[in-house]
Amino acid sequence: MFEATRMLFIYVETPLHAGSGRGLGAVDLPIQRERTTNYPIVQASSLKGRMRGEARTKTKDNPSEEESAQGWLSKKEFLAIFGPEAGEGASEHAGAISLGDARVLLFPVRSLAGVFAWTTSVDALERFKRADQIANVKFDIAIPPEPGENTAWVNGDVLKASESVVLEEFCFTPNATHADKVKAIGEWLAQHALPQTNEYEYWRKALPQKLCILPENAFRDFVLYGTEVQTHIKIDPEKKTVAGGALWTSESLPTDTLLYAPVMATDARTKVNGNGMKADQVLQRVVDLKIDHTQLGGDETTGQGFVALRFSNGGGQ
Q: Where are the domains of the chain?
A: 108-223
Cβ neighbours of residue 73 under 8 Å, at least 6 residues apart?
Answer: 55, 58, 59, 60, 63, 81, 285, 289
pLDDT number for residue 94:
83
pLDDT of residue 317: 37
Q: What is the pLDDT, as a whole number, of residue 228?
A: 93
Chain centroid to CA 138: how far? 18
| Range 243-274 burial, b when 16+ CB lie within 10 A, else e | eeeeeeebbbbbebbbbbbbbbbbbbebebee
The per-residue pLDDT for 134 is 87
Task: Give me the pLDDT at residue 93, please.
Answer: 77
pLDDT reported for residue 315: 47
pLDDT at 23: 67
Question: Which residue ranges of the chain lie beneath pLDDT 50?
Answer: 315-317
pLDDT at residue 316, as a whole number? 39
Q: Is 106:118 a contact under the CB 8 Å cutoff?
A: yes
Angle at CA of residue 125, ends 204 and 199, nearest 5°: 15
What is the pLDDT, as a whole number, of residue 273? 67
What is the reported pLDDT for 24? 63
